[in-house]
Structure 1
Amino acid sequence: MTEKPELIRPTDDQARTLARTLARGARFAAIAVIDPESGAPLSSRVLVATDIDATPVILISRLAQHTQALLADPRCCLLLGEPQKGDPLAWPRLSLQGRAERVESDSESHSCVRRRFLRRHPKAKLYADFPDFAFFRIMPEGASLNGGFGKAYKISAEDLIIRSNLTPILLSHELQVIANICALGENVPNQLARHFFKGKTGDWEISGLDAEGMELAQNESLIRIETEKRPEDLNGLIAVYSELLT
């Protein structure tokens, strides 16, 4: 008797890296929520960034229908991953399930969330401080990764969140550390873009930094670098990028 093929592959490091890259390097996502009036699924599009621990962050208006849905029931799902040329189903995507938690404006993490979001989405400065807008963290509870035809994986919440001694340090010193990395050489963001993405050159800048990688931005383009080493102090973090540039 012929055995049926496994639909879900064993989750390996390559799948985890792809899932993290999709979650941490996204500029926008489709969000699915539950309509509080009908109980039916409801979807919309939102801008996405990440907190310093890689938790997805969205900025939404309470006038929006999906915001009212999240306030009534915080369960939601983000579909992350941008298709390129050709068959859109051939490109990887991540379906991330989680719960939305509002980032209160007087909380310790608000300034970091706001800074990182607006560095990724500068045009959002026009409305980010409107009284009806608020930041929400989407706390991951698990995810499904489709890496292409026949490449389905289950991703745990722990696979997506950064647990590092560097996280509280970067919470308040991220911009200074970015400046220190840029001082390692000439046009460091462009050098990193060429190192990781052959042929992609231009006016790149470091948009965000965390203990496991960084985002490089160029106009409306955003690319995520996931580093193999996981340093636990600032000297080790600087050394990771210094080695890449030599």
Structure 2
Amino acid sequence: MVRPPAVSRDVLCGQARGLILGGRSGVLSTTFRGKESWPYGSLVTYAPDVDGSPIFLFSTLSDHTNNLAKEPKASLLVERASRLKNPQQGPRVTILGTVKPTKSPRHKKRFLARHPGAARYAGFGDFGFYVMTPERLHLVGGFARAQWLPASEAQPTKAAARAIAQAEDGIVDHMNADHADALDLYANVLLGRKGTGWRAVSCDPWGLDLMRNDLPARLDFDAMVRDAGAMRTMLVDLVKRARAGG
């Protein structure tokens, strides 16, 4: 068997990060409560925080929520492989970390921005928000291409994550209020998505998340941005690229 050529660690981190930041659902594996401690997989939705940490909305009636109350260590599998003719050739990443409740209004806002339909039940008494703190990543970039990575290698610097988190509301509001044409250009030209009326819903140091009719699109940046000024420069450069035809 001919093995694929070696891939740099930076590229591997970028692949893992792209899967996590571009995803909305995955398989959460918890330890089933009880004497035998069976592994238990659940299909869940999530929204990545600005540093890529998955944010969840769980019901206290769900088995995985009760499992986490006993053992917060869990894994989340995110993939773009299952629809391929040969899923083994598709990319996927497993995040290992601990999942705990969060009362952060910002976590709530980011989750509902990615999953607006969840607003119908997010306020129910038996629902709550949770966040995973990633420790390790296992990336499978395709057939015979697997690598363990510390989660920190795929995350932005803490300073960049903090700066963008603080500026996010202003960036999103400004783009929607003053640059609706740019958002449509991003979607239509750079991402190949149809229609007008695209809106920005969230951003992070590595990209901008768009949505239209509850369907998401992800605009990845060429490099990490470290603050609001760098974000503005990146968005201006990208709209120039879109106006030039991509």
TM-score, with structure 2 as normaliser? 0.86
1:23 aligns with 2:20: yes
Amino acid at match of 2:20: A
Give matches, 1:5-154, under 5 Å.
12-37=9-34, 38-82=36-80, 83-103=82-102, 105=103, 110-154=104-148
Alpha-carbon offset, residue 52 of structure 1: 2.7
1:200 aligns with 2:193: yes
Query: Could you say if the C-alpha distance between residues 89 and 218 of structure 1 is closer, same or farther in structure 2, counting changes exceeding 3 Å?
Result: farther
Q: How many residues align?
A: 237
Structure 1: gaps (5+ residues): none
1:39-64 residue CA offsets vs partner (Å, 9 max, x unmatched)? 11011111110223221111101111
Do 2:163 and 2:226's aligned partners in 1 also have CA atoms closer than 8 Å? Answer: no
Structure 2: gaps (5+ residues): 241-246
1:7-52 residue CA offsets vs partner (Å, 9 max, x unmatched)? 9x66522221111111111111111010120311011111110223
Query: Could you say if the C-alpha distance between residues 132 and 160 of structure 1 is closer, same or farther in structure 2, counting changes exceeding 3 Å?
Result: farther
- Picking from 221, 230, 242, the partner of 2:224 is 230
1:200-243 residue CA offsets vs partner (Å, 9 max, x unmatched)? 22243222101221222233533333322333332221011101
Hey, what's the Cα distance between the residues in 2 that align with 1:135 and 1:162?
A: 23
Do 1:32 and 1:41's aligned partners in 2 also have CA atoms closer than 8 Å? Answer: yes
Report the equivalent of 2:243. none
Query: Could you say if the C-alpha distance between residues 74 and 5 of structure 1 is closer, same or farther in structure 2, counting changes exceeding 3 Å?
Result: farther
Query: Could you say if the C-alpha distance between residues 213 and 57 of structure 1 is closer, same or farther in structure 2, counting changes exceeding 3 Å?
Result: same
| RMSD (Å), alpha carbons | 2.4
Hey, what's the Cα distance between the residues in 2 that align with 1:186 and 1:153?
A: 40
Alpha-carbon offset, residue 132 of structure 1: 1.3
Higher helix proportion (structure 1 or 2):
2
3-state SS of paired residue (1:24): helix
Alpha-carbon offset, residue 149 of structure 1: 1.3
